[in-house]
Structure 1
Amino acid sequence: MANPSPIDIQKALGGVDYPASAADLVKKAEDSGADSSVLKALRGLPDRQYETPAEVNKAIGGS
């Protein structure tokens, strides 16, 4: 399955306070009702702090 688009990811993460841990990002996406492809991508992130939305997209494989 293809990775979700950076736009879909950031819609799911709207309002996240950065820096945020991978677990924080997954929880935010779950709370916002993100679709399964977004949740799967976020759950696959390395467990570390992410400083910006662009860092999240890069870690998932976006640009």
Structure 2
Amino acid sequence: MADVSPIDVQKALNGADYPADRDDLVSLARDNGADASIIDKLSAADTDRFDGPNDVQKAVFDGK
């Protein structure tokens, strides 16, 4: 799996409205042309709902 940077995740989720469900963010990332590695990390997040970008970053990079 390719390395994913926080900036890549922010770009993939450009236009997200929070709070947001995981499935909505995965769909948005796909619509924004995100790399498969970002989609995979979002899909594998342990939480179903994110209150904001910081929650996404924690889930993607800290596995929380």
User: Normalized against structure 1, the TM-score is what?
Assistant: 0.86
* Other-structure match for 1:59: 59
- 1-structure distance, mates of 2:5, 2:41: 10
Q: Following the alignment from structure 1 to structure 2, what is the Cα–Cα distance between the partners of residues 57 and 44? A: 13
The one-letter code sitting in structure 2 at the alignment partner of 1:38 is I
Task: Name stretches of at least 5 consecutive residues in structure 2 with no aligned partner.
Answer: none
**1:51/1:4 CA distance change after superposition, 3 Å:** same
Amino acid at match of 2:20: A
| TM-score normalised by structure 2 residue count | 0.85
In structure 2, the partner of 1:14 is 14
Unaligned runs of 5+ in 1: none
How many pairs align?
Answer: 62
Higher relative contact order (CA 8 A, sep 6+): 1
Ranges of 4+ aligned residues in structure 1 off by more than 6 Å: none
